[in-house]
Amino acid sequence: MQAARWFGVGSAEGLAEGAGARAAHEALLGDDAKLLLVFSSPAHELPLLLREIRTRAGDVPLIGCTTAGEIAVSGPRDASVVVAALGGDGFAVETACATDASRRLREAGAAAARCVPAREDLEHKVLLMLTDGLSGDQREIVRGAYGVLGAGVPLVGGCAGDDLKMTQTFQFHGDAVLSDAVVAAGVASDAPLGIGVRHGWRRIGEPMLVTGSAGNRVYELDDRPALDVYLERLGLDRAADGDREGLARLALTHPFGLSRPGGEDTVRFIGSGDFAEHSISCIAEVPEGALVWIMEGDAQSVLEATDAAAGDSLAALDGRSPLGMLAFDCIARRSVLGDPGIRVEVDRLAALAAGAPIAGFYTYGEIARTSGVLGFHNQTLVVLSLA
């Protein structure tokens, strides 16, 4: 007899042939799977990987993406693949994708959002979204999805990675390996779904006024070239000009924080800097006229945020035990924790999940919208718990 609902996770380390089939076999706890989620190192031969998973799983709806590291109960990994599967009559799932997202961000979000099952008997719903964070202002994608779904369906997910190369990420939909795309799965459930989001960063120094910006690119801070001001605030001079890799490492642990009503900062991941025009590019919009701070964190503050995000997601399950947990964790938090710290973080998530399986990946941005139109985050941990 099939269980009414189940959630399984499988993983395979290394890039050898057969990794996809092994991970899928471990994840498939029943023969009535409704959805596969695939989180893979970009170093895999991706079309082959999907074929291996399909050979084991058949035509089960599938979405996924490449990562900046993978997460499973066995721990954080690189050069691996993680497959999560959910199934049983307690779930209904539909999937969608939108390509050429960079040319039509809001429209792509709207197109991907039209896949939430219209099942009145399954009252709990969520839209899982995986996007290309290098395609432009990700807030526009969230706005597009909100325009279709309104406030009734929460959004959760993350931006694909490419092991910090910041050149090209990939998204998966069915048998297809895509780029510059949004892929989504609308999930309807007969039991609660809980979302938690926390970041663990704090302000340092004085605020700066954004005096010149367009979309996700910042040109001026306090009427001066943005990159110059940023480096000076961190005690560096322009002798560092041209060191793109050094800037990328610095920016991972020193994002921007934008002030917003309510007192909690919205964090913006700094993706790159242009040393010719001395501008800064973020993964999402930094509006002109905003007040921004440089942020920092440490292992303690980041791990406290881990506990809080997982706790918030579990509290929304109305006292039920979790069936499974998905974690979308920013690569910048990984950089703060280091290799020993990310092992500790996954162990803490596993303890809070009380034995339920965990899957996820290290992202270039996170999606978590439970109220209001905003829902794109940087440098945070987003947790989805399923009862």
| Neighbour tally for 373: CB within 10 Å | 13
Please give the tally of structural domains in the chain.
2
Distance CA 357, CA 86 (A): 11
Q: Tokens for 38?
A: 């695939």
* Distance in angstroms (rounded) separating the CA atoms of residues 178 and 247: 29
Where would I find the H helices in the chain? 19-27, 46-57, 105-113, 138-149, 226-233, 244-252, 299-315, 331-353
Picking from 126, 282, 310, the residue whose alpha carbon sits closest to that of residue 200 is 310
Residue 261's pLDDT is: 59
Amino acid of residue 214:
A
* Residue 1 within a domain: no
- Coil, helix or strand at residue 12: strand
Domain assignment present for 373? yes
In this structure, what CATH number is given to the domain that contains residue 211? Answer: 2.40.30
Shared-domain flag, residues 143 and 22: yes
Query: Any bridge partners for residue 77, and if so which?
Result: 70
Q: Print the domain residue range for 40.
A: 6-198+300-386
The verdict on 288 and 305 lying in the same domain is no
CA 371 to chain centre: 18
85 in a structural domain: yes
Q: For position 369, what pLDDT does the model report?
A: 87
If asked whether residues 206 and 183 sit together in one domain, one would say: no
Are 19 and 143 part of one and the same domain?
yes
Residues 175 and 219 in one domain: no
Residue type, 304: E
Are residues 331 and 242 part of one domain?
A: no
- Contact of 63 with 173, CB cutoff 8 Å: yes
Give the pLDDT of residue 241: 58
In a shared domain, residues 11 and 119? yes
Q: What is the pLDDT of residue 2?
A: 58
Which of 272, 296, 320 finishes a domain?
A: 296
Instruction: Tell me if 315 is assigned to some domain.
Output: yes
What radius of gyration do the chain's Cα atoms show? Answer: 20
Ordered per-residue pLDDT tens for the chain, 387 residues? 457 899 999 999 999 999 999 999 999 999 999 999 999 999 999 999 999 999 999 999 999 999 999 999 888 999 999 999 999 999 999 999 999 999 999 999 999 999 999 999 999 999 999 999 999 889 899 999 999 999 889 999 999 999 989 899 999 999 999 999 999 999 999 999 999 999 888 899 999 999 999 988 999 999 999 999 999 999 887 545 567 778 888 888 898 998 765 555 788 888 889 999 999 998 788 999 999 999 988 889 889 999 999 999 999 999 999 999 999 999 988 888 999 999 999 999 999 999 999 999 999 999 998 766 568 887 789 999 999
Same domain, 64 and 210: no
The DSSP-derived string for 92-159 is EEEEEEE--GGG-HHHHHHHHHTT----TTS-EEEEEEEE-GGGS-HHHHHHHHHHHHGGGS-EEEEE
- Residue-wise pLDDT tens digits, 254-272: 989 987 655 557 888 888 8
User: So what's the pLDDT on residue 80?
Assistant: 97
Beta-bridged to residue 360, according to DSSP, are 71, 327
Fill in the DSSP letter of residue 42: T
Q: According to the model, what pLDDT value does residue 284 have?
A: 80
248 lies in some domain:
yes
Query: Where is the domain boundary, 296, 318, 334?
Result: 296
pLDDT at site 226 = 96
Which of 251, 280, 296 terminates a domain? The answer is 296
> Is residue 366 included in any domain, yes or no?
yes
Which pLDDT does position 199 carry in this prediction? 83
Closest CA to 63 of 176, 169, 162: 176
CA distance 338 to 76: 11
- Is residue 60 a contact partner of residue 165, using CB atoms and an 8 Å limit? no
191 and 213 part of one domain: no
Q: How far lies 321's CA from each of 122, 173, 217, 345, 385, in Å?
A: 18, 30, 43, 20, 9
Same domain (yes/no): 151, 230: no
Helix axes 244-252, 331-353, angle to 10 degrees: 30
Q: Is the dihedral of CA 42, 44, 47, 50 positive or negative?
A: negative
Distance CA 156, CA 139 (A): 13
Strand ranges of the sheet holding 91-98, from the earlier edge strand across to the other edge: 91-98, 182-189, 124-131, 155-159, 366-369, 376-377
Q: Cβ distance 356 to 283 under 8 Å? A: no
State the Cα–Cα distance between residues 221 and 291, nearest whole angstrom. 9
Question: Angle between the 299-315 and 331-353 helix axes, to the nearest 10 degrees?
Answer: 50
272 falls within a domain: yes
pLDDT tens-digit readout, 116-137: 999 999 999 999 999 999 998 8
**pTM of the predicted model as reported, rounded to 2 decimal places:** 0.87
Backbone phi and psi for residue 188, each to the nearest 5 degrees, phi listed first: -110, 140
Same domain assignment for residues 285 and 306: no
Q: Are residues 39 and 172 in the same domain?
A: yes
